[in-house]
Amino acid sequence: GAGKTTTFGVVGGLIHADAGEVSILGGGPLRAHASRGDFSMLPQDCELVPQVPVLTYLTYLARLQGLTAAEASRTATERLNEVALADRAKASVKELSHGMRRRVAVAQALLGDPKLVLLDEPTSGLDPELVIRMRELFASHRQKRTLVISSHNLRELEEVCDHVVFIQRGKVVRAGSIDDVTERGTSMRYWVERSFDLAPLAAKCADLTVRGDGEVLTVVAPKGWTAAKINAVVVPHLMEVDAGLVEIRHGQTLEDVYMASHGER
């Protein structure tokens, strides 16, 4: 119930908004952008035509965007290759598994050369190997177009996206670049084997904010501090108190930020 799918539905013209308006690509009606192929969307529950061969289906949709027969065939073939379904080009949609159908839907959303693509839970139902492949695909396309991805998998978003928006009950509760939101530049996290008294570490440098959660230590520094400078203060202390340093990471995870933004931590 956060409102992600509803927001996508309003932006994509599938749901009529009770109030307000949506501006697509700097203005202009959605229909005009869609007819030019500038805008594309993958709904969460995307239905495909079951009886049609996959390549024929994608080629037909590309033709609806105004592409020539040759252009439509080329882009449909390219997208099938990108989602690892080239060997299923002649199979009908009804012969495909759920995961395969989801990949066809992703290919459909990327047909032609859209400037803005909305992807609602694009990796839902995919096995881990294909999830990784989809991440790589999205990363390659973000250099050419804007991808807006809705997902419950925050780790996946952290690896693919450069900006993030958290919404709760239809309201934006946090937004910004991944680096800013996760405090990658000014925050460090340390995994240790044994918890210890944080007060002496905090006393060593009043500029640092020190938080402990079991065996995870989070240290937040003012802007201008580098990771090396933070480590120079923290790591020797961890060695001194025999905390058993296991791992060091820059910043928080998106899961940490999400929980904090939603008042659950």
- Could you tell me the domains of the chain? 4-161 (3.40.50.300), 183-261 (3.30.70.270)
pLDDT in tens, 112-156: 888 999 999 998 888 888 888 899 999 899 888 999 999 888 888
Q: What's the average model confidence in pLDDT over 198-213? A: 88
pLDDT in tens, 222-243: 878 888 899 999 999 999 999 9
| Secondary structure percentages of the chain, helix, strand, coil, to 5 | 40, 20, 40
In this structure, are residues 43 and 52 in contact, taking their beta carbons and an 8 Å threshold? no
Q: How many C-beta atoms lie closer than 10 Å to residue 125's C-beta?
A: 14
> Alpha-carbon distance 172 to 54, whole Å?
38
> Alpha-carbon distance 170 to 242, whole Å?
47
> Which residue pairs, CB below 8 angstroms and at least 24 apart, start in 126-133?
126/99, 126/102, 127/99, 130/84, 130/99, 130/103, 131/156, 133/83, 133/84
Query: How far, in Å, are 25, 52, 75, 149, 259 from residue 83 at the CA level?
Result: 27, 18, 12, 17, 33
> What element of type H or E holds 137?
helix 128-141
What does the radius of gyration of the chain's CA atoms come to, in whole angstroms? Answer: 23
Q: Give the up-direction half-sphere exposure of residue 198: CA atoms within 13 A in the CB hemisphere.
A: 17
Query: Mutual orientation of helices 69-82 and 98-109 as an angle, nearest 10°?
Result: 130
pTM of the model: 0.74
pLDDT value, residue 265 = 41
Q: Which of 24-33, 41-50, 215-224, 230-239 holds the top average pLDDT? A: 230-239
pLDDT value, residue 78 = 96
> Alpha-carbon distance 235 to 201, whole Å?
10
> Alpha-carbon distance 155 to 152, whole Å?
9
DSSP 25: T
In this structure, are residues 222 and 186 in contact, taking their beta carbons and an 8 Å threshold? yes
